[in-house]
Amino acid sequence: MRKLTNDELGRLTVEEYRRAAKMPVAIVLDNVRSANNVGSVFRTADCLGAERLCLCGIVATPPNKDINKTALGATESVEWKHFASTLDAVAELRAEGYTILSVEQAEGSIALQDFVPAVGKKYALIFGHEVNGVAQDVVDASDGCIEIPQVGTKHSFNISVSAGIVLWEVFRKFKFESTD
């Protein structure tokens, strides 16, 4: 077995990516404090073809050396916008027809493996602060919560890991298991 070279991967250029069809998902970062985590989410958004990234509150924004270190150029390909508050982003996304889902451990949450995205619907997935998670007022403004099942002693995954897990699962379901 031979590892493929970057040229053999046949990736899109930044301009081709911007014009390409995207997964109907907006990623919302609610006061994520680590620029490295933000960069990692940019890179994941690019790899899985998310529509856009909403950076809210205290979150670092490009250009930023720590974001660039982990994003590896994804700040150029992924559409993004900063909002003073996450509730402002939620209001804009709701007005655009997105279903708002916080990724949080909450009463009545749906386990990630049980979440089935509907064809024709758009989703905004909110990921929270590294210690405090998604703010309660943002959870209150959401249409529901998705929860990643866990069994260890820690209360949560790192936000960039949570984003990778959730976005892969949603991508997989949209791409390979789309249902009405």
Residue 16 belongs to some domain of the structure: no
Number of domains, the chain: 1
Whether residue 18 lies inside any domain: the answer is no
Range of the domain at 171: 24-148+155-175
List the beta bridge partners of residue 83. 56
**Each residue's pLDDT tens digit, 35-93:** 999 999 999 999 999 999 999 999 999 999 999 999 999 999 999 999 999 999 999 99
Distance in angstroms (rounded) separating the CA atoms of residues 8 and 141? 45
127 pLDDT above the threshold of 70: yes
Contact 51, 22 (CB under 8 A): yes
Q: 32 in a domain, yes or no?
A: yes
For residue 154, give Cα distances in angstroms to 30, 38, 149, 177. Answer: 21, 22, 12, 31
Assess if residue 19 is contained within a domain: no
Q: What is the CATH number of the domain that holds 45?
A: 3.40.1280.10
Helix, strand or coil for residue 123?
Answer: strand
Residue 161 counted as domain residue: yes
Please say whether the beta carbons of 45 and 71 come within 8 A.
no
